[in-house]
Amino acid sequence: MKLIVGLGNPGRTYARNRHNIGFMCLSHFARTQGIRLDRSQGKARTGIGKVAGETVVLARPKTGMNLSGESVRQLVRRLNINPEDVIVIHDDLDLPLGKIRIRHGGSAGGHKGVNSIINHLGSGDFCRIKIGIGRPLIAASSAKEKEAAVINYVLSDFTPEERKIIAEVIPKVSQSLHCLLTEGLAAAMNRYN
């Protein structure tokens, strides 16, 4: 069994934000696999199905991005799985817009949602599918101003030009996830990184 978690912030206000690309990708994957996100468990909207014979639980945490670990920990315990059976889909400021990077383990890289998951699981030993959203050009001088600019950037919607790129990337993320589940990590990394 695999737990696949798309990160984002719940609610219409955030639906098209850069920070919600994980939600967008998970929803697309659910549609392509005929899985309905129609359950509520572990502080998440969930759906269960099979992909190539493997049982998968898809989850969109309802905790808010920075507390995603609360939901993931509850689901991991409820499903009785290990961190190695978790796949997290999330945005990445350090990747160019639309770039996909798949990796297993490592640090949070400054991502507060991933950091929350690592802290709550007590392990960073899970797979991540990162989608580049680019980093804003920041003219601010202080660390506080830079952080505020980054927060404003990730909590703003994609521009019309960016939406065109993201519309092409979301199906590729679904393909990479399917590859990861059916062919394994090495194949998915070689094909989509």
For the annotated catalytic residues, the residue numbers are 19
CA dist., res. 32 & res. 173, Å (int): 12
In this structure, what token pair is assigned to residue 7? 């990160």
Instruction: Sheet containing 44-51: give its strands across.
Output: 39-41, 44-51, 54-61, 2-6, 86-92, 127-132, 100-104
Within a 13 Å sphere around the CA of 1, how many CA atoms are in the beta-carbon half?
14
CA dist., res. 82 & res. 5, Å (int): 14
